[in-house]
Structure formats: C-alpha cells, structure tokens
A and B are shown apart, each in its own frame.
Chain A
C-alpha cells in the first residue's frame, strides 16, 4: 500500500469514528432506556402501570399507576400547543408580512431573548407571580365547594400558561422563517388578482408555508413535552387527574422530583416513566420527520 492511500484510509477511519460517536450515543441511550424501563413493566404489569391512576410508591402495598401522570403530560402539552401555535403563527405573520424593518428587528431580538431565557427563570416567575394570581381565581371559583382541596395556585392551568410562553419563540421563529421563504411572486400574483393583504396572507402565504409551520408546531410539542424545571416549580406536583385547578405531575417532573430518593421497584418504575417519555419524544420526532418530508415533496 502506498503512503497516500494509507493516509486517505486513516483519515476516513477518523471521520468515521467521529460520526459513530453521535450514532452510538443515540443507540446507547435507546438501549439503556429499554433495558432499564422494561423490567418494571413486566413486574407491575403493563396495564396496571400505564393505565391505573393510583400512585403510591412507598406505601405498605405500593401502587405504581402512572395513568394520571401520562394524561397530565398529554393534556398539558396538547392544550398549550393548541393555545400557543395560533398565537405564535399570528406573531410570525406580523413579523414577516406586516412589521417594518425596524419594528421587525426589535421584535425578532425580543423573541430570540425569550427563547434564550432559562426555564428555571420561567418557573420562578410562574411561582412568584402566576401562582398567587391563580390562587385568587381558585378561591373565587371554588368559594362554596367544600370538597375542593385548595392548591394555593400551583395547578395545571399555571403549567399550561408557562408552557405556552415557553413554546412561543420556537413556533414564532420557525414559522416566520418559513413565511419569509414563500416567494414574493405568489404574493404579487395574489395582490394583482385583487385579493386584499389579509386574503393574500391567509389564502396564499400561510398555505404555501404549511410544512414549515407544521414543523414549528411539532418542535413546540417536543419542547412542551420535555420541559421539566419550570413545570416542577408551578404545577404543584401531586398526582391528580389533570383538571385546570388540580395540582398535577407530568412525566418529566415525576422523574425530577422522585429520582433522588427512590429505591427498588420505585426506582425501576421511574425508569419506565422515562421510557414512556422517551417513546413520546420518538413519536414527536417521527412526526417532525414526516412534516419536513412533506415540505420537501411539495
């Protein structure tokens, strides 16, 4: 073998090793989650674990039902996305279609800042400002309800509001750039046919940027589903059915708050909770892939 070929080959191997690191990490994490998370499924029983609502991990006869926890994650994520995406989309429309350059720039940097704020800050503000407000509202609504356990404002609704604000920057920036990518010729054609600006935006520009907006929404779902810190601080953290004024626990906060002390089967079940979360995230990523492919196909 001559020297040049040897060098080429060495280089190729080195690049390959670098590429393998990332793949290896993904495979290792997937494998680890399944190996760690699956045993408890068998031990507790798939149905009892995933669909039962009773969570008493340290009781004499422990119960490991994470039904309400899964439900809280699903409800919290979907409601916050349903609220956040329209607001984010309209903001993106304003940014890319209506705002002048100066206002647009100010807005864009504000949105970027919003995205950069650490989640613990969101949690802190939620805890100090949002929760007391919520408690006032809760007191008014449940004034004559002797059955209601007052949560002090740390509830599902607080979590959703925090999540909506947290997913906004993702939705806005992804949608705005996909709206920007719509060719001007489409706008000009629409306007030339006599359509108003609003008609052009809603009938032409948004449909043309559909796949990008969808991508933004899916990314938002991913962020809302995976958020732990802020939710942990505002949602109260007891396992309940996810009604607006109930204190709830999601998949992420379940892991954060109990991993520290859990032992034995309790710990294994927490790994299963992690596995469930991981599977949800895989589904979201799969949807993301589909959304992007759709964009390419069109």
Chain B
C-alpha cells in the first residue's frame, strides 16, 4: 500500500545514511576507538605489531555491530515518529483512510478516547487524534482551521456561533453534588447550594443536619467541571473553596474520607462511597436530566465549522458512527447521556 512504500523509502534513506556514516568512520580510522574506548583492552597484553592489527580488526567488528544495532534502533524510532505524523489524504472510496483531528475540552477525554478507539477499530484506515486543550482553545483551533472538530463541554457562545461554528450535541453530562456517607442532609435547593459554595452557609445544622462543619471542596480554576458548576449555579468566581483539587478522582476520594464534605463531580463517577445529593428534590439520574428537570447538566459538543453535511467524508463518517448503535453504546459506557 501507499503507506508502506513510503516507509520503505525512508528505510532505504536511512541505510544510505548509515553507509555514509561508516565511510566517515573508516576515514577517521579505528585508531580513535582503540585509543579512547578500547584503552582497557590495550592494557591486557603488551602490544606488538602482529597482534595490533588483529586487535584493530576485532574491535572494528564489534564496533560495527554495535553501530548497526544503534542505527537500526534509531531508524525504527524515527520511522515510528514519522509514521505517526504521516497523513494519507487520497483515500480509496470503499474504505475510509486518513485522519481526523479533534481538540478541546478536557472533560470530554473519556468520551473521546473511547469513541476514537472504537471508531478506529471499525475503520482501520483512519487515525483519530484528540488533543485536550480546553473547550475555549478547542473552538479557537476549529475556527482557525487547524482541527476538524472542536470539543466543547459547554454550549457555544453567540460570538463563537457567529464565527460559523456549528453546535452538534453528542452527549449530555450531568454534574452530581456529592457528600460523605454519614451526612444526614441529602437534599438541597440550588439556592442553598450556591450559599454553601459562596461560604454563607457553613454548618450542616443550618440545613437541618447534624452539627458538622461543611468542608467545601471543588476543582481548580480552569477546570471544565468547575466552570460548568459555577455557571449553572450563577456563582462564578464567588466560591469560597477550602480545597481545590485537580482531578475528579481526588474530589471523590476527599469527599468520601472527610466528614461533612461536599464536592462536585461528573455524574457517571458517583459511586457507593459517597451520596449523590438531590437538588431541588430531583435525584441526579439520567431520566431527570433528559427530562430537563435536574439543573446541573451540560452538553458535550463536537463543533464543526459549518453544517456536518458540508464536512469531509471522514468527519461525516465520524458523526454517523456516533449516532450508530455502536456509538451510542460507547456514550453509555463512559457514563454519559444520549441526547434526544
């Protein structure tokens, strides 16, 4: 195939380079090696004219073998590197080939990894590369034309839509508010939640629970989950966190192990070590999110420049795959909700 001949060309290029390199070595003379690297072996026995030549030969053989080994390893590495970057634009009609570039939200990493893995399995000729640069940056690269799809874990802003970006919601992510298992308060209103996070409510007894201080845990500035949470509750930049952790897992672990703690994570990671709190009396479940009743939810958008129908065949195939049964299964598997 096309790709393979390309690799062979590169290989032959390396072989040529290697030959040239050895020629240079020859011209410099092996004496150099004997002098600097082989100093131990010259000490073993007294040198005389007869065995000096033998030594040189032995040594040059060894060095040659080593050099060949090193060069082969090096060229293989180089091949692997160039192989990754190589694009194959002119794909045949029957089978898709080429690459799709995605960039954007870090929150969508799990989804993108799983989706691209199963997509590439179904279409062996296609390479999907995803960069996790953050929603804003991903949409910027899309607008600049450096990627095919911009991932965003929030709805597109008006100025982004004005840039010609199309919002394709592929999944919905729910944010669950979690608390430790011993907490008696399992239902809060979104107003109370905002007050807890802005530091106005400091003790669970104010919400009818035990006399236990509230330990307010959140994510670091710049995190997509934090952005979504604060925006949805309209408390952007007003939060008084006592702990800012830099991963979902860390929040989950801290909340589970700290009495009176409260935190927020993606809905799908909530497990039995913590309680997923009701908000305004609504359980954080898929049904409630799809019904639009649960407030803490956000769309996962794979934005394109212009309509999907205007995109390349590859990108169209990608979206077709997402909407296929296999694609839906992937979305469910990573704990997200399929939009209707």
**Do the two chains bind?**
yes
B254 proximity list for chain A (CB < 8 A): 127, 152, 154
Nearest B residue to A262, CB-CB:
B222
Q: Chain B nearest CB: distance from A256 CB in Å?
A: 7
B245 proximity list for chain A (CB < 8 A): 237, 257
Is B88 on the interface with A (CB-CB < 8 A)?
no
Q: Chain B nearest CB: distance from A52 CB in Å?
A: 16
When the two chains form their complex, are residues B35 and A149 in contact, meaning their CB atoms are under 8 A apart?
no
When the two chains form their complex, are residues B244 and A236 in contact, meaning their CB atoms are under 8 A apart?
yes
When the two chains form their complex, are residues A266 and B221 in contact, meaning their CB atoms are under 8 A apart?
yes
Q: How many A-B residue pairs have CB under 8 A?
A: 111
Nearest A residue to B223, CB-CB:
A261
Nearest A residue to B217, CB-CB:
A152
Give bound CA distance, A131 to B216, whole Å.
Answer: 15
Select the residue from A56, A128, A152, A257 with max chain B CB neighbours within 10 A: A152
Give bound CA distance, A276 to B236, whole Å.
Answer: 29
Q: Chain A nearest CB: distance from B273 CB in Å?
A: 14
When the two chains form their complex, are residues A139 and B244 in contact, meaning their CB atoms are under 8 A apart?
no
B106 proximity list for chain A (CB < 8 A): 260-261
A146 proximity list for chain B (CB < 8 A): 202
Is B326 on the interface with A (CB-CB < 8 A)?
no
Bitwise interface map of B from 30 to 47 toward A, beta carbon under 8 Å scored 1, else 0? 011001100000000000
- B215 in complex: contacting residue of A127, A128, A151, A257, CB < 8 Å: A151
Is B220 on the interface with A (CB-CB < 8 A)?
yes
Binds A, one of B158-166, B255-263, B284-292: B255-263
Bitwise interface map of A from 34 to 50 toward B, beta carbon under 8 Å scored 1, else 0? 00000000000000000
Is B98 on the interface with A (CB-CB < 8 A)?
no
When the two chains form their complex, are residues B214 and A258 in contact, meaning their CB atoms are under 8 A apart?
no
When the two chains form their complex, are residues B215 and A152 in contact, meaning their CB atoms are under 8 A apart?
yes
Give bound CA distance, A237 to B36, whole Å.
Answer: 53
Bitwise interface map of A from 211 to 247 toward B, beta carbon under 8 Å scored 1, else 0? 0000000000000000000001100111000000001
When the two chains form their complex, are residues B236 and A59 in contact, meaning their CB atoms are under 8 A apart?
yes
A60 proximity list for chain B (CB < 8 A): 236-237
Bitwise interface map of A from 58 to 78 toward B, beta carbon under 8 Å scored 1, else 0? 111000000000000000000
Q: Chain A nearest CB: distance from B239 CB in Å?
A: 9
When the two chains form their complex, are residues A257 and B246 in contact, meaning their CB atoms are under 8 A apart?
yes
Nearest B residue to A142, CB-CB:
B213
Give bound CA distance, A237 to B137, whole Å.
Answer: 25
Nearest B residue to A146, CB-CB:
B202
Q: Chain B nearest CB: distance from A182 CB in Å?
A: 38
Nearest B residue to A6, CB-CB:
B28
Q: Chain A nearest CB: distance from B270 CB in Å?
A: 19
Nearest A residue to B224, CB-CB:
A261
- B32 in complex: contacting residue of A11, A149, A247, CB < 8 Å: A11
Is A263 on the interface with B (CB-CB < 8 A)?
yes
- B242 in complex: contacting residue of A6, A56, A247, A258, CB < 8 Å: A247
Give bound CA distance, A237 to B219, whole Å.
Answer: 10
Is A57 on the interface with B (CB-CB < 8 A)?
yes
Nearest B residue to A247, CB-CB:
B242
Is B134 on the interface with A (CB-CB < 8 A)?
yes
Is A7 on the interface with B (CB-CB < 8 A)?
yes
When the two chains form their complex, are residues B222 and A152 in contact, meaning their CB atoms are under 8 A apart?
no
28 contacts between A and B (CB under 8 A): A3-B31, A58-B237, A59-B236, A59-B237, A60-B237, A127-B254, A131-B258, A132-B258, A146-B202, A149-B202, A149-B216, A149-B240, A149-B242, A150-B242, A152-B243, A152-B261, A154-B254, A232-B246, A233-B250, A236-B244, A238-B243, A247-B243, A249-B244, A258-B222, A260-B222, A261-B106, A262-B221, A263-B133
Give the 6 A-B residue pairs with the shortest CB-CB distance, closest first: A261-B222, A150-B213, A59-B237, A152-B215, A152-B258, A257-B246
- In addition to A152-B261, A257-B246, A260-B222, 10 A-B residue pairs with Cβ atoms within 8 Å of each other are A3-B31, A6-B28, A7-B32, A59-B236, A152-B258, A152-B260, A153-B258, A236-B243, A258-B220, A263-B136
